[in-house]
Amino acid sequence: MIIPKLALRNMLGAGIKTWLNAAVLSMAFVTIIGAQGLYRGWDADISRIMTAAEYGGGQYWVKGFDPYDPFTLQDAHAAVPPALTERVEAGKATALLYVPATIYPGGRIRSVVLKGIEPGQKALEFPSSALAGSGAELPALIGNRMAKAAGLAKGDTVTARWRDARGSYDARDLTIVEVMRTSVQSIDEGQIWMPLQTLRKMAGMPGEATMVTLAKDIPAPGAIPGWDFKGLDLLLKDIRDLIAAKQIGGSIVYVILMFLAMLAVFDTQLLSIWRRRKEIGTMMAMGVTRGRAVALFTLEGGLNGVFAALLGAVWGIPLLAYFAKHGMTFTSEQADSFGMAVDKGIFPVYGAGLVLGTTFLVFAVTLIVSYLPARKISRLKATDALRGRMS
Amino acid sequence: MENGMLIKTTDLTKVYPMGGQSITALDKVNLSFAKGEFAGLVGPSGSGKTTLLNILGSLDVPTRGSAEVLGEKIETLTHRKAAELRNHHIGFIFQTFNLLPVYTVYENVEFPLLLLGMAPAARRRAVLAALEWVHLSDRARSRPAQLSGGQCQRVAIARAVVKKPDLVLADEPTANLDAENSHHILHTMADINRDLGTTFLFSTHDDKVISHLRRKITLIDGRVAKDEPGPAAEKRP
Ligand SMILES: Nc1ncnc2c1ncn2[C@@H]1O[C@H](COP(=O)(O)OP(=O)(O)OP(=O)(O)O)[C@@H](O)[C@H]1O
Ligand SMILES: [Mg+2]
């Protein structure tokens, strides 16, 4: 136990130098935990709001439907099978019909998807009720991004043109009865929501749907011929991959921070061993073996990690706790620049695993970086060290 | 080793390679020291005094011949065994004091005892006693930078003797001190030698040190040129 005690004594004795290194290192520390916590919070947040507004407890897609291939859309509809109808009627699911269309806002042409949803549905946290009771013949609901992109506002009408089930074109004016604010882009951009029954009539697809979304936590009833079940893992995969990619991009920042902090530790160690070579010689004369001297200096450097953790705790815990409590807020433009849903704010999540993992990482790297220069001591002759020389 | 002999060298030779050539720092040195001696190595610069002390202190090894210290043959000791020998039995005093700068006086003196793994209570007693010997009890909390040269060297003496070693090796202990401090230091060491029976071996150019020696060995070009009783020989306890 003597070596740790001496190492601590030496580091505390070195005063300001020790705390400067610890300060630099603590910045890396808190940034890593903060950024990782932010990504985790974001991931949790996105999963939550997308699940609530769009994915529910998973979706049954009609066979052949591929959201990434607009050409599949035209034929992606079929009668809702009895097993699902039962759940829709029980309020445990909701059916959605997708019909590709073009609209002509302000004389320009835009491709959109008309999406039919039951105004009274309760399966999703989606403001479908806005489609009921407006009195408009063809009520339509759009998101704020879509409204902005197409230059549409509440009360406007817009001409839509679509092909019905038999393949003949039809065109009508839709009335925008509501513009919803949503943080979920995938229920907003390029789409127009309408009452399911109205859209079924317009498209000549009575009783049909493109997908049936289960309410949250409703278990899937099993395989249904002609329909493919898509679970949450699969539905959230894209967004999670995107977050993971951003996370990797973000980690470059802390690789740089860690590198700078480690450079400072390495430098201090190298200098310290050079400056204190006579001290090392003296210790050897008193019976400290080279191995113990190496251990002592490695541990001294490693203590930088401990001090950084302490210092980081002092200023980092209040800061991170503040963000965890109040969230990090973004304007809707900033939020959209993330390329995915950001709710009112992100509430970072700092798990014990994250904190312990980061602490362990910082300790391990600091020890390694401290050991490298300390290795020099193992080739040092006591007589040379005492004469102030270093071989 | 004969009875009571602490150190015995036999044809002890140290050769330093220097580029193509080599320097013979010690040339067949044959010396013995008994327990309790207060002896000094004198001689011109480069005569091998430091080299001899380093080998006797197991910090260095002979090129040829043998150096037996406390029953251990220095030339056969492993690095670890040598460190153990120093830790338990040998104290060093240096010309430049070599105190650990970030430690207090107390911690500096405590250091060898920490290495020995001594229990806290015994350690504390020993440190306070050692500070008493060198009359620095009141400076226990000071740091080396706050002390004069003479005080630093007294701390170094306390550090060397705190574990009650059999042998203290002092390489020019007064070279950085003024006359008054030099005498003071020598008196302190002579007292410890008398009270604890610790063997002291100096290297020195300093007449003030020489005047306290009970045995004076003159080295010239790595050879023992003279081995005679010192000016203080009659004070032998
Ligand atoms: N590490 C070394 N490498 C090469 N030569 C050395 C080394 N150490 C000592 N020497 C040489 O060995 C000889 C004896 O040196 P040493 O230091 O023992 O002399 P000294 O009597 O202590 O001298 P001084 O009174 O100046 O301290 C000198 O010629 C010195 O140059
Ligand atoms: Mg010398």
**What share of chain B in percent tops pLDDT 90?**
81
Q: What is the pLDDT of residue B1?
A: 45
Contacts of B26 in chain A (CB under 8 A): none
How far apart are the C-alpha atoms of B56 and B43, rounded to whole Å? Answer: 18
- Has residue B54 got a pLDDT over 50? yes
Judge: B54–A288 Cβ closer than 8 Å, yes or no: no
- DSSP states of B34-70 as a string? ETT-EEEEE-STTSSHHHHHHHHTTSS--SEEEEEET
How far apart are the C-alpha atoms of B119 and A199, rounded to whole Å? Answer: 89
The ipTM of this complex is 0.92
Q: Which residues contact A202 (CB under 8 A, 6 or more apart)?
A: A99, A114, A138, A162, A164, A170, A172, A194
How far apart are the C-alpha atoms of A209 and B15, rounded to whole Å? Answer: 98
Q: Tell me: do A360 and A268 sit in the same domain.
A: yes
Instruction: Sketch out chain B's domains with CATH numbers.
Output: 36-61+78-235 (3.40.50.300)
Q: What are residue A163's DSSP bridge partners?
A: A169
Q: Report which protein residue has its CA nearest ligand 1's atom 28.
A: B46
Q: Nearest-CA neighbor of A257 among A37, A36, A27?
A: A27
Asked if B17 reaches chain A (Cβ–Cβ under 8 Å), the answer is: no
Q: What is the pLDDT of residue A347?
A: 81
In this structure, the number of other CB atoms found within 10 A of the CB of residue A307 comes to: 20
How far apart are the C-alpha atoms of B119 and B125, rounded to whole Å? Answer: 10
Number of folded domains that form chain A: 2
Q: Is residue A6 assigned to a domain?
A: yes
Q: Tell me: do A45 and A127 sit in the same domain.
A: no
At position A273, the amino acid (one-letter code) is I
Contacts of A288 in chain B (CB under 8 A): 83, 87, 115
CA B46–ligand 1 middle distance (angstroms): 5
Q: Tell me: do A219 and A364 sit in the same domain.
A: no
Q: Is residue A377 assigned to a domain?
A: yes
Q: Tell me: do A70 and A134 sit in the same domain.
A: yes
Judge: B94–A2 Cβ closer than 8 Å, yes or no: no
Q: What are residue A103's DSSP bridge partners?
A: A110, A160
For A285, the closest of B88, B92, B117 (CB atoms) is B92
Q: Tell me: do A39 and A134 sit in the same domain.
A: no
Q: Angle B149-161/B179-196 helices, nearest 10 degrees?
A: 10
Contacts of B112 in chain A (CB under 8 A): 286-287
**Best mutation site among B12, B49, B218 for ligand 1, i.e. most ligand atoms within 8 A of its Cβ?**
B49
Q: What is the pLDDT of residue A15?
A: 82
pLDDT-derived band of residue B154, with 50, 70 and 90 as boundaries?
very high
Judge: A288–B92 Cβ closer than 8 Å, yes or no: no
Q: Tell me: do A75 and A97 sit in the same domain.
A: yes
Rounding to the nearest 10 degrees, give the CA dihedral for residues B226, B230, B233, B236. -90
Q: What is the pLDDT of residue A326?
A: 80
Asked if B23 reaches chain A (Cβ–Cβ under 8 Å), the answer is: no
Q: Is residue A391 assigned to a domain?
A: no
Judge: B87–A286 Cβ closer than 8 Å, yes or no: yes
Question: Which residues span the domain enclosing A73?
Answer: 58-230
Under a CB-based contact definition with an 8 Å cutoff, are residues A113 and A190 in contact? yes
Coil vs helix vs strand at A96? strand
Question: Token digits for A132?
Answer: 């009921």
Q: Tell me: do A212 and A258 sit in the same domain.
A: no
Q: Is residue A267 assigned to a domain?
A: yes
Q: Nearest-CA neighbor of B70 among B139, B1, B158?
A: B1
DSSP A224: B
Q: Which helix (H) or strand (E) element contains residue A311?
A: helix A290-326
Sign of CA dihedral A60, A63, A68, A71: negative
Domain boundary among A230, A258, A278: A230
CA B81–ligand 1 middle distance (angstroms): 25
How far apart are the C-alpha atoms of B109 and B91, rounded to whole Å? Answer: 11
Q: What is the pLDDT of residue B68?
A: 96
How far apart are the C-alpha atoms of B73 and B75, rounded to whole Å? Answer: 6
Question: Token digits for A90?
Answer: 């029980």
Judge: B103–A287 Cβ closer than 8 Å, yes or no: no
Q: Tell me: do A200 and A291 sit in the same domain.
A: no
In this structure, the number of other CB atoms found within 10 A of the CB of residue A287 comes to: 23
Query: Distance (Å) from the C-alpha of residue B130 to the closest C-alpha of chain A?
Result: 16
CA B203–ligand 2 middle distance (angstroms): 7
Position of tokens 């509809």?
A: A77
How far apart are the C-alpha atoms of B225 and B222, rounded to whole Å? Answer: 9
For A287, the closest of B84, B98, B107 (CB atoms) is B84
Q: Is residue A344 assigned to a domain?
A: yes
Q: What are residue A113's DSSP bridge partners?
A: A100, A191
Q: What is the pLDDT of residue B208?
A: 87
Domain boundary among A205, A230, A255: A230
Under a CB-based contact definition with an 8 Å cutoff, are residues A288 and B83 in contact? yes
- Has residue B157 got a pLDDT over 90? yes
Query: Distance (Å) from the C-alpha of residue B211 to the closest C-alpha of chain A?
Result: 27
Q: Is residue A73 assigned to a domain?
A: yes
Which residue in chain B is spatially nearest to A2 when comparing CA positions? B114
Q: Which residues contact A54 (CB under 8 A, 6 or more apart)?
A: A124, A126, A184, A186, A187, A213
- A287: left (phi > 0), else alpha (psi -120 to 50), else beta? left
pLDDT tens over chain A, length 391 residues: 688 888 888 888 878 888 888 888 888 888 888 888 888 888 888 888 888 888 988 999 999 898 888 788 888 899 999 988 988 998 899 999 999 999 999 888 999 999 999 999 988 988 999 999 888 899 999 998 899 999 999 999 999 999 988 889 999 999 999 999 887 888 888 999 999 999 999 999 999 999 999 998 888 888 889 999 998 888 888 888 888 887 787 778 778 888 888 888 888 888 888 888 999 999 999 999 999 999 999 999 899 889 989 999 999 889 888 888 887 776 656 555 554 555 567 788 888 888 888 888 889 989 999 999 899 888 888 898 988 776 5
Query: Distance (Å) from the C-alpha of residue B106 to the closest C-alpha of chain A?
Result: 13
Nearest ligand to the CA atom of B42: 1
Ligand 1 pocket, Cβ-based, cut-off 6 angstroms: B 16, 18, 23, 25, 43, 45-51, 203
Q: Is residue A347 assigned to a domain?
A: yes
Q: Nearest-CA neighbor of A340 among A246, A251, A231, A253?
A: A246
Give B59-118 pLDDT, tens digit per residue: 999 999 999 999 999 999 999 999 999 999 999 999 999 999 889 999 999 999 999 999
Angle (CA) A85-A88-A90 rounded to 5° is: 110
Residues of chain A in Cβ contact (below 8 Å) with chain B: 2, 5-6, 9-10, 12-14, 278-279, 281-290, 381-383, 386
Domain boundary among A230, A255, A284: A230
Q: What is the pLDDT of residue B75?
A: 94
Q: Tell me: do A112 and A225 sit in the same domain.
A: yes
Q: What is the pTM of this model?
A: 0.75
Q: Nearest-CA neighbor of A96 among A138, A132, A53?
A: A53
Q: Tell me: do A167 and A206 sit in the same domain.
A: yes
How far apart are the C-alpha atoms of B153 and B108, rounded to whole Å? Answer: 12
How far apart are the C-alpha atoms of B185 and A306, rounded to whole Å? Answer: 42
Q: Is residue A84 assigned to a domain?
A: yes
Residue B1: how many CA atoms within 13 Å on its side-chain side?
20
How far apart are the C-alpha atoms of A167 and A336, rounded to whole Å? Answer: 37
Asked if B87 reaches chain A (Cβ–Cβ under 8 Å), the answer is: yes
Which residue in chain A is spatially nearest to B54 when comparing CA positions? A383
How far apart are the C-alpha atoms of A60 and A70, rounded to whole Å? Answer: 18
Q: Tell me: do A202 and A264 sit in the same domain.
A: no
Q: Tell me: do A243 and A303 sit in the same domain.
A: yes
How far apart are the C-alpha atoms of A294 and A304, rounded to whole Å? Answer: 16
- List the single best residue of B70, B84, B92 to mutate versus A (max A Cβ within 10 A): B92
